[in-house]
């Protein structure tokens, strides 16, 4: 990030993952993490719940921590076209994020059909193989240079057009 900033190509946003197991309820560290996350939020860091709807993610995180983004799990996004139950859960998660006033990001977006579904459901952000594969630092640097010379990163709304 420092290198990209020095080159004048730093992205507006960068994600850093923290293990969900650090936020398990009942942990003696719950109050410590809540305070730490609040201090980070005050510095301008946006907190996201990753893989929402699976694993360690919990609805209580939405009330206990200063969350600004909800990332819907790839497993749920994968089924939105063929499985009505997955589609219902994803629509509910998008509505929940909207009512809480937080951004919603769909993970694992691989098809334009998924994009159309997500946009119709009200989700404006996505990540996945449809947009690109995981990148090395070198390839990301090249993309950041291209972006600096062109246009902003795509949102789902633009991708659906």
Residue-level pLDDT at 119: 96
Give the CATH architecture of domain 28-136. Answer: Alpha-Beta Barrel (3.20)
pLDDT tier at 108, thresholds 50, 70, 90: very high
> What's the whole-model pTM score?
0.75
Q: Following DSSP, what letter does each residue of the chain receive, concatenated?
A: -HHHHHTT---S-------GGGG-TT-TTHHHHHHHHHHHHHTTPPEEEEEETSTT--THHHHHS-EEEEEE-HHHHHTTTT-HHHHHHHHHHHHHHHHHT-EEEESS--SHHHHHHHHHHT--EE-STTT-----HHHHHHHHHHHHHS-PPPPHHHHH-
d(CA 151, CA 33): 37
Mean pLDDT (the chain) is: 83
pLDDT tier at 125, thresholds 50, 70, 90: very high
Q: What angle do CA 105, 110, 111 make, to 5 degrees?
A: 105
d(CA 9, CA 23): 33
Q: Which residues are tagged catalytic? A: 107
Residue-level pLDDT at 2: 85
Residue-level pLDDT at 107: 93
Q: What is the mean pLDDT of residues 79-107?
A: 95
Beta strand 125-126 with 47-52 is unpaired
Query: pLDDT tens digits, residue range 55-75?
Result: 666 788 788 778 888 999 999
């Amino acid at each position: 990030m420092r290198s990209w900033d020095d080159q004048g190509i730093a992205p507006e946003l960068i994600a850093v993952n923290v293990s969900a197991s650090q936020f398990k309820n009942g942990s003696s560290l719950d109050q410590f993490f809540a305070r730490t996350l609040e201090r980070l939020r005050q510095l301008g860091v946006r907190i996201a719940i990753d893989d929402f709807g699976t694993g360690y993610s919990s609805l209580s995180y939405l009330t206990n921590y200063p969350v600004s983004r909800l990332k819907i799990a790839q497993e749920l996004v994968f089924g939105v076209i063929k499985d009505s139950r997955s589609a219902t859960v994803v629509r509910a998660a998008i509505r929940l994020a909207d009512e809480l006033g937080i951004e919603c990001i769909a993970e694992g977006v691989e098809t334009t059909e998924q994009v159309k579904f997500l946009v119709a459901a009200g989700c404006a952000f996505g990540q996945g193989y449809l947009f690109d594969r995981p990148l090395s630092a070198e390839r990301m640097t090249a993309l950041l240079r291209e972006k600096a010379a062109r246009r902003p990163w795509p949102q789902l709304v633009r991708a659906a057009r």
